[in-house]
Chains A and B, each alone.
Chain A
Amino acid sequence: MKIAVCIKRVPDMDVRFKIGSDNVSLDEAGLKFDINDFDAWAVEAALQLKEKNTGSEVTVISLGPDVVQETIRKALSMGADRGVQLKTEKVPFDGFPVAKALAEELKAGAYDLIFFGKMSPDSSNGVVGAMAAEFLGLPCVTAISSLEITNGKGTAKRELEGAQEIVEFPLPAVLTVDEGLNTARYPSLKGIMAAKKKPLETKPVQLAEPQVVVRKLELPAERKAGRIVGEGAAAVPELIKLLQTEAKVL
């Protein structure tokens, strides 16, 4: 099986972000970057399929400046076979030109399965996988939390609001990965050493003009400091009163 996984380098979210002096980008000083969690689960899914299907190959693709090579190497150290960097100066907010560029590359690779994370926490838009599937004209299942591939056919579970769907799809197909599908492996020392020798190809790409542009970034208003109403069950009547008269939600 030929499998592709599209991955993104994202900042660690467990920080207080600072807005850059241009007001349209983040101050990246001090931020730690790593592979998007959803994309790491996508890599893991691809590796598990590779282990079950001898002769399979897993290609990881990331779009962006040279720093994304580090993210690609991480996926290679987990066990992917080769990497492709679609080299751009920046990664725009707009998912349209990104999906377009990835679809071009994916089309040329004639993959049986293409994985994306269902979204990335930085842009929090979650559109690239489904858009790329449309550009490729391939069947697509988004936000999967289980997967089985047998005899060129796939079965996946999707989480919906208040329900789960089991869907069947033919290959080739595009899948976007939700939490719950698996737990991503950590690269082993051997994997890290091996990754250094794996092929990583860099291809410059020209992105289409974005239609969605960041005009301004701002920090959300802080929530007003709350108050402790009291301790234990004795505080319940006071809470009920506040919910009725102050918050007016009861």
Chain B
Amino acid sequence: MPNVFAFVESRGVDVRKVGLEAVTAARAFADKSGGGEVHALLLGPPGIAANASQLGKYGADVIVAVEHAGLASYNPEVATATAAERIKSGGYRAAIFSTTAQGRDLAPRVAARLGVSVVTDVLSFELEGDTVVVRHPINIGKVIATLSISGSPAIIAMRPNVIAPVQNVKAGRVENAQPAVDPGTTRVKVIETRQGGGGKLDLAEAPVVIAGGRGLKAAENFKLVEDLASAFGNAAVGATRAVTDDGWRPHSDQIGQTGRLVSPELYIAVGISGAVQHLAGMRTSKTIVAVNKDKDAPIFKVADYGIVGDVFEVIPALTEAVREAKKHH
């Protein structure tokens, strides 16, 4: 019964939702391979160990908490060395990461250090004897590849939102550990972190995404999209490439082939025509709503529900109706 490792992402002292998903995925992997233990690692500033014990509820048997004042933000070199060392000494069958900005940076570094391959953006996994089989979208999601991973440990970075965190209570024993290298000595140093809109939900993790396109006509009209997002309360705001190229929104908000991939429960496209490059980033959303004045816009081909109309008329009405609906809930 081999054990499984999960890397738990955090922001400050808070465990991110993708961290709970990683533990849930690791638990599922361990159960598929006969019920080994799940060991979760997280790094962060002092206070993170106290927040780590909740991981036991999601199936972690052991939680390794690395607290250090120098780890207020993600430090690639410290995280790589600490994770690689732990994975090496733990003899794990698999190591689960998240496909986020952090996970995309970390997982390949750890894999290289361990001398094994890595697959990111994994939709699902299975065990077939000694082989780990995963599904991974290629060609901007237009083709789905089934891949077999022969190396051990199998390093897998899950796509956010494909595995809902599930409670499965295990011991969740917290062990405190030291970073494998001193955060003060790393070669790459973060000298500044600029928060984009403070406390705002992240695009990859939000259950609802409201995205705006050129149909909004000007940067300031994104307020309509923001208002709709705040009516939902659990929504993040995204944009098309045309909009980020014009500087209406930061590049980190771009959903599409060269930007972020999202698969929320609900995706609302506001004034978005639906270019191939945009569809690549959101077509796996569970429910898609589109509002556009052009009834022939390609976005209506992928939208479950479409409203043909002027976004300046429809979106305020929708915002009001969502606010009403939420009130009675």
Contact = CB atoms under 8 A, between A and B. Distances in A.
Q: What is the interface residue range for chain A against chain B?
A: 35 or more
A247 B287 contact: yes
Contacts of B259: 179
Contacts of A44: none
Contacts of B119: 125, 212
A189 interface: no
A227 B146 CA distance: 32
Interface string B241-257: 10010000011101001
A215 interface: yes
B314 A166 contact: no
A163 B286 contact: no
A91 B266 CA distance: 37
A30 interface: no
B192 A215 contact: no
A226 B146 contact: no
A159 interface: yes
Nearest to A19: B143
B229 interface: no
Given A160-B252, A161-B203, A94 B307 contact: no
A139 interface: yes
Contacts of A218: 143-144, 146
Interface of B: 73-74, 76-77, 80, 100-102, 104-105, 107-109, 111-113, 116-121, 133, 136-151, 187-197, 200-205, 208, 241, 244, 250-252, 254, 257-259, 265-266, 276-277, 280, 283, 286-290, 295, 300-310, 313-314, 316-318, 321-322, 325-326
19 contacts: A26-B139, A96-B116, A121-B257, A125-B136, A127-B118, A130-B112, A134-B113, A159-B101, A162-B197, A164-B250, A179-B241, A212-B149, A223-B302, A225-B301, A226-B300, A233-B316, A240-B321, A250-B322, A250-B326
Interface of A: 11, 13-14, 16-17, 19, 26, 37-38, 93-96, 99, 118-119, 121-135, 139-143, 145, 155, 158-170, 173, 178-180, 210-220, 223-233, 235-237, 239-240, 242-244, 247, 249-250
